[in-house]
Structure 1
Amino acid sequence: MRTLIRPAGFVDSPFGHDGKVARLAGGLNWFGLVELIKIDGRKRVSTEVAPVEGIQARFDEAMAADWARITGQRPALQMGERTIRLDQPQVMGIINATPDSFSDGGSYGDSASAAEAGAAMAASGAAIVDVGGESTRPGAATVWEGDEIERVLPIVQRLAAGGNAVSIDTRKSAVMSAAMAAGARMVNDVSALTWDEQSAAVVASIGAPVVLMHHQGDPQTMQKDPRYDDVLVEVYLWLEDRIAAAETAGIARDKILIDPGIGFGKTVAHNLELINGMALLHGLGCPILFGASRKRMIGALANEAPADRRLGGSLALALKAVEQGAQIVRVHDVPETVQALKIWRGLRDAALTPRSA
C-alpha cells in the first residue's frame, strides 16, 4: 500500500492563509487541499480530500518525500547559452518537418521556410522551438532515420545559429546525436527512451534535458481500443518507472521532464480524466510539459472542428494545464498562446501582490 498526493483546492493568493496553503513546484500556483489516493499495487483503493493545514503530520516517509517534490522549486533548464526559467509557464513552439503530421504536415516548402517559421515563433515569445521529422499521429508509418535526419538537420542548424533554444522531437538515437551536434539542446522523445535501446545512453552522454512522454502502444496501434483501469494512477506509475530507468542509465533527475502524453493511446475520456487530475504528476518532482494543441479530442468535443480550427480549444487546454502548474505548453499557435499566458500571468501577479491597508 502507498498513498499518492494530488494538489487540489487552488487559491488565487497565499495572503491571509498562513499554514493553510502550499506553493506548487515553486511556481505561481497555491493550493489549500490535497486528494490522498491510496493504491495497492497499481489499483486505487480509496481517496480522501484533506486540508493542507496539518497534513504533514499524517505523512509516512514516502509521502514526505513526495510532498518535498510537490512543493520544491524546479531548476531552470540550461539549453546551451539559454536559460529557461520554470518558475513561470513557458511556451514551446512546434515545427513539423513532415509531409503527414495531423495539423501542419507539408506546411513548409523547404528547410529555410521551416526555420523562418521557427524563428518567428521565438520572436513571438516561444522559449523553445521543437523540431520533428517523423509524424507520430495515430496510424503514422515509421520514418527511416536517414530521411528523418535529412529533414531536421538544416532546420536545427539554422535555428541554433540564430541563438534559439532548439529541442529535437525524435525516438531515434542517431537523430538525437545528429541534431545535438547541429545545435539542438533538448531531446523530446514520445517513446520515453523505449523505442531505441541506444537512446538513453546517447542522452546521458550528451547531458541534455530530455522529455519522457507516456504512451500506450505505438503510432500504428495506439488508438485501437486503448484501455486503463485508472488512467491517472497508471500514467503516474509508468512515468515513475521511466524516470527510474533514465536515472539508472545515467541521466540526472534534474535533466528529466515528463509529459502525460495526451492522445497517445488514450480515448477522449482518458484524456479528460488525465488533464483534470494532472497536478498529481508533480509528485514525481520533474517539470511537466503539456501538449494538446489542435489534437483530436478538441474536435470530438467541438462539433468535429478540423485541426486548423481548434485554436479556442487549444488555448482552453493550455490554460487548464498552467492552472495545475504545468511548466511548459507545446503548441502550434505561439502568438495566441503567449498572449493568453500573459493575461493569465497578469491575473496571477495581481493576486500575488499584497493589498495595501
Structure 2
Amino acid sequence: MGRPRVVGIVNITADSFSDGGRYLAADDAVAHARRLWAQGADLVELGPASSHPDAEQVGGAEELRRLAPVLERLVAEGVPVAVDSYLPETQRFAAAHGAACLNDIQGFPDPARYAELAASDCTLVVMHSVQRVGPATRVATDAEAVWWGIERFFAERLAALTAAGIGRERLVIDPGLGYFLGAAPGPSLTALARVRRLKERFGVPVLVSPSRKSFLRAVTGRPPAEAGPATLAAELYAALRGVDYLRTHDVGALRDALAVFAALEDAGRGAPAGPEEV
C-alpha cells in the first residue's frame, strides 16, 4: 500500500449533507481546519457551497463572503489550502490569494479559461460527474456505462488541458462518487474498484472521496453521522488500490488506520514464513 496524501474537508456551508451549518462562521471554519491540520492532513479543502442534490445553490458573491476570511487566515498560517468550487470568480480569487489547489466538480469545462489556468501555479483536481454541469442530481445510471464514460471523459479533458499548456504534473483526476455517478451504489463501487486502471491508463495522480457518501449509506443503511466505519473501509480499500489522495471528513481516523496498516505490512515483510505460507 502506498502512502496517500490526506485532504481534510471543511464545509463552509449551511446545508452540506454531513455537517451543514457547523462551520459556516469563519472562526468555526478556521478552528476546524486547524484541527484537521493538527491531525495530519496534507491539505485542507475549503468548500463554500454544497453540491449534493438537495443543496441550495449560492452565487459567487456569497461563496467569496464565506471563503475569503477563512482562506486568508489559513494561508497566513502556512496551512496548504485547496478550494472546492466550480465558479470562475471563486477559483480566480482562490488562486490569487494563496490556494495551492483548485477542485472543480465540473472538471474545468471552459476552454476560454485554460490560458488563465495555465498561468497559475495551482494543482487542478479534474473531477468527473455524470451531470457534467452543476451539482449532483439523483439519476438512474448503469455501472458499466458510467465507467466507460469516466474513461472517455478523462481522455478528452486531459488532452484539452495539456494542449492548452497545463502541465500533467499539475493535474489530479477524481472519478466522482456518490450522486455524482448516480442514485444507486453500483457505479461508485465499480469506480472505486477500478482506481488502479485509471492510474495505469492516464499516468496522473488519482483522488477519491468516499467519505460519508450516499453509496456507502445505501450499502449499510446508515445515516451520514454513522457512516464512519463504512467510510474508513472504503478509504483503506482505495489506499490498497494505489490511490494518491484521499479526501475525508475524519482525518484523525484515516491517519490512524493508515499508520496501523503500514505497521502491519512492515511486520509482515520481516516475519519468517509459517507453514501455511510456504
TM-score normalised by structure 2 residue count: 0.90
In the alignment, structure 1 segments of 5+ residues that lack a partner are: 1-27, 30-87
Matched letter for residue 239 of structure 1: F
Distance apart, 1:226 and its partner CA: 3.0
Per the alignment, in what secondary structure is the counterpart of residue 8 of structure 2? strand
* Greater alpha carbon shift after TM alignment, 116-125 vs 199-208: 199-208
Please state whether the residue corresponding to 1:287 is helix, strand or coil: coil
3-state SS of paired residue (1:95): strand
How is 1:266-305 mapped onto 2 (pairs within 5 angstroms)? Answer: 266=182, 267-283=184-200, 284-303=202-221, 305=222
Distance apart, 1:140 and its partner CA? 3.1
Aligned match of 1:310 in 217, 223, 227?
227
- CA RMSD across the alignment: 2.0
1:235 is aligned, of 150, 154, 166, to: 150
| 2-structure distance, mates of 1:184, 1:105 | 23
Task: Give, in whole Å, the separation in 1 of the partners of 2:91 and 2:147.
Answer: 30
* 1:118 is the counterpart of 2:33: yes
Distance between the aligned counterparts of 1:224 and 1:316, measured in 2?
26
The residue aligned with 1:205 is 119
Tell me, yes or no, if the aligned pair for 1:173 and 1:198 is still in contact at 8 Å.
no
Shift in Å at residue 138 of structure 1? 1.8
2:88 paired with 1:173: yes
SS in 2 for 1:91: strand
Q: Which moved more, 1:312-321 or 1:204-213?
A: 204-213
8 A Cα contact 1:145 1:172, kept in partner: yes
Kindly indicate whether the alpha-carbon contact (under 8 Å) linking 2:181 and 2:187 is maintained by their aligned counterparts in 1. no
Q: For residue 162 of structure 2, what is the amino acid of its counterpart? A: E
Question: Are 1:216 and 2:216 counterparts?
Answer: no
- The question of whether the paired residues in 2 share the 8 Å contact of 1:173 and 1:202 is answered with no
In structure 2, the partner of 1:349 is: 266
In the TM superposition, what is the alpha-carbon distance from 1:237 to its structure 2 partner?
2.3
Between the two proteins, what is the percent identity of the paired residues? 31
Following superposition, the deviation at residue 350 of structure 1 comes to: 3.2
Distance change (3 Å), C-alpha of 1:242 and 1:309:
same
Return the letter of the residue paired with 1:174. E
Residues 146 and 181, structure 2, Cα contact 8 Å, conserved in 1: no
Task: Please state how far the C-alpha of 1:183 moved relative to its aligned partner.
Answer: 1.7
Q: CA deviation at 1:327?
A: 1.0
CA pair 107-221 structure 1, distance change in 2 beyond 3 A: closer
Aligned amino acid, residue 208 of structure 2: F
Paired AA for residue 219 in structure 2:
L
Maintained 8 Å contact 1:231/1:273: no
Change (3 A) 1:308 1:197: farther
> Of 62, 65, 79, which residue of structure 2 is paired with 1:147?
62
Asked whether the 8 Å contact 1:191–1:215 carries over to 2, the reply is yes
Residues paired across the two proteins, number: 269
Q: Give, in whole Å, the separation in 1 of the partners of 2:103 and 2:237.
A: 22
In structure 2, the CA distance between the partners of 1:219 and 1:155, relative to structure 1 (3 Å rule), is same
* SS of equivalent residue, structure 1 residue 319: helix
Q: Structure 1 or 2: larger strand share? A: 1
Q: Is the 8 A contact 2:130 2:146 kept in 1?
A: no
- 1:287 is matched by which residue type in structure 2? P
- Larger Rg belongs to: 1
Instruction: Give the structure with the higher percent helix.
Output: 2
Report Cα offsets for 1:14-67 as digits up to 9, x if no partner: xxxxxxxxxxxxxx46xxxxxxxxxxxxxxxxxxxxxxxxxxxxxxxxxxxxxx
**Out of 181, 197, 208, which is 1:265 matched to?**
181
Q: Which amino acid aligns with 2:192?
A: I
Ranges in structure 2 where 5+ consecutive residues have no aligned partner: 274-278
Residue 96, structure 1, aligned to residue 11, structure 2:
yes
Q: TM-score, normalised by structure 1?
A: 0.71
Distance 1:236 1:347, change over 3 A: farther
Q: Indicate how the Cα distance of structure 1 residues 151 and 281 shifts in structure 2: closer, same or farther if over 3 A, else same.
A: same
Separation in structure 2 between the aligned mates of residue 187 and residue 246 of structure 1, nearest angstrom: 14
Task: State the partner residue of 2:276.
Answer: none
* Structure 2 residue matching 1:280: 3-state secondary structure: helix
Q: Is the 8 A contact 1:294 1:311 kept in 2?
A: yes
Letter matched to residue 63 of structure 2: E
- The question of whether the paired residues in 1 share the 8 Å contact of 2:127 and 2:173 is answered with yes
Contact 2:106 2:127 in 1 (8 A): yes
CA contact (8 A) 1:141 1:219 kept: no
